[in-house]
Chains A and B, each alone.
Chain A
């Protein structure tokens, strides 16, 4: 009698791996941080002008993805 000891590996698709709360929250957090840096950096007025839109987008994204399944 032979015993199959090979563990069953669940093959998850690319979307299953990416569309989870953890990675999406990390992306949203990075966008918020980028928006805050753009708001306070002393180098480019254009970056400053786009900072609010970036932070708002990141914040809305964070609020939405925090409801996504784990």
Chain B
């Protein structure tokens, strides 16, 4: 009763203080009010998302250099696109990216699904183990990059000592981050360590969405556990697995921070993924027009993959 009277007093006071504003707002239609509320957000999105994108598209057709902003800009047409799409060095960077994406997604999917399958069995203490498994995912990539740099140190790094313990090689006989052969695998290991829990979470959601009565019907039909896995579990969790694959594929295609901290693209250009090449072109060579064209190529690829991702997401949602 007291609450009611208090709220009505507040409303009464609000109306009394600004009667003109209240009357004007009451006179607006729902549609106008909706536009009134979303206009600031739309303006903000236009300013920080759409305008930079359109500006980048424009720059990709010019010879603009950010460190020589006063030099007159010349329209070059599709020259930068032709140059990038016939450059063997950029092609090599794409292959490094492909190696990184394929292996990380493969390892993360297999391990993530395996872990989700185990966690779904609800053994004793599975809640605690889930929390422990999820810990790497909660860390910042900058932190992960830094501490794995220490773990990979040939003299003091824990990773080298663990490998030495199992293989019998001297711990300082190999360098994960300095070796041409090992460094691409070093970044794959770190990304898999960090993001497998994420894939596990998505797969776990998929496994938990399978109704128990299907397994009960399979038990009645005397289907073996192996048969149940291949005929029920895997097909029904597949849309979720596809979702995880697409999401990790998109994320790793544009991976920058962790690779930059771990190897910086080296040794040589063995771990120079596309985003590192882009950063070098944009902020070391200051070829702004060229790097804008490269960014647009990467953007269109990610946008295309995102379309497939949204389609897969809708399929999962419709289940």
B95-133 interface (Cβ within 8 A of A): 95, 97-98, 101
CB of B88 closer than 8 Å to a CB of A: yes
CB of B86 closer than 8 Å to a CB of A: yes
Is the Cβ of B307 less than 8 Å from the Cβ of A29? yes
Q: Which residue from A25, A41, A45 sits with its C-beta under 8 Å from B311?
A: A25
Q: Mark B277-306, 1 if CB is under 8 A from A, else 0.
A: 000000000000000000001001101110
Q: Which residue from A33, A35, A48, A63 sits with its C-beta under 8 Å from B91?
A: A48
B95: chain A residues at CB < 8 Å are 40, 42
A-B pairs with CB below 8 Å: how many? Answer: 52
What CA separation (Å) do A55 and B307 show in the bound complex?
11
A52-B81, A56-B300 given; A29·B308 CB < 8 A: yes
CB of B205 closer than 8 Å to a CB of A: no
Q: Which residue from B81, B88, B98, B307 sits with its C-beta under 8 Å from A32?
A: B307
CB of A36 closer than 8 Å to a CB of B: yes
What CA separation (Å) do A59 and B81 show in the bound complex?
18
Q: How many residues of B contact A (CB 8 A)?
A: 19
Q: Mark B70-98, 1 if CB is under 8 A from A, else 0.
A: 00000000000100011010010011011
A45-B88, A59-B300 given; A32·B94 CB < 8 A: no
Is the Cβ of B88 less than 8 Å from the Cβ of A55? no
Is the Cβ of A52 less than 8 Å from the Cβ of B300? yes
A59: chain B residues at CB < 8 Å are 300, 303-304, 307
CB of A49 to closest CB in B, whole Å: 5
What CA separation (Å) do A70 and B308 show in the bound complex?
17
Q: How large is the interface on A (under 10, 10 to 19, 20 to 34, 35 or more residues)?
A: 20 to 34
A-side interface mostly: helix
Q: Which residue from B98, B101, B301 sits with its C-beta under 8 Å from A55?
A: B301
Q: Which residue from B85, B86, B98, B303 sits with its C-beta under 8 Å from A40?
A: B98
What CA separation (Å) do A49 and B85 show in the bound complex?
5
CB of A28 to closest CB in B, whole Å: 8
A29-B311, A49-B85, A52-B85 given; A35·B97 CB < 8 A: no
What CA separation (Å) do A32 and B88 show in the bound complex?
22
A40-B97, A42-B95, A45-B88 given; A52·B297 CB < 8 A: yes
A42-B95, A45-B88, A48-B91 given; A36·B301 CB < 8 A: yes
A40-B98, A51-B85, A52-B85 given; A45·B304 CB < 8 A: no
What CA separation (Å) do A17 and B81 show in the bound complex?
38
What CA separation (Å) do A45 and B90 show in the bound complex?
11
Is the Cβ of B304 less than 8 Å from the Cβ of A62? yes
B303: chain A residues at CB < 8 Å are 59
Is the Cβ of A35 less than 8 Å from the Cβ of B307? no
The 4 closest A-B pairs by CB, nearest first: A40-B98, A32-B304, A59-B304, A49-B85
Given A52-B297, A59-B303, 11 other A-B residues pairs in contact with their CB atoms under 8 A: A32-B307, A35-B304, A36-B305, A40-B94, A40-B97, A45-B88, A51-B85, A52-B85, A52-B301, A59-B300, A59-B304
Q: Can you report 20 residue pairs joining A to B where beta carbons are below 8 Å apart?
A: A25-B311, A28-B307, A29-B307, A29-B308, A29-B311, A32-B307, A33-B308, A36-B301, A36-B304, A39-B94, A40-B101, A41-B98, A45-B86, A48-B94, A49-B86, A51-B85, A55-B300, A55-B304, A56-B300, A62-B307
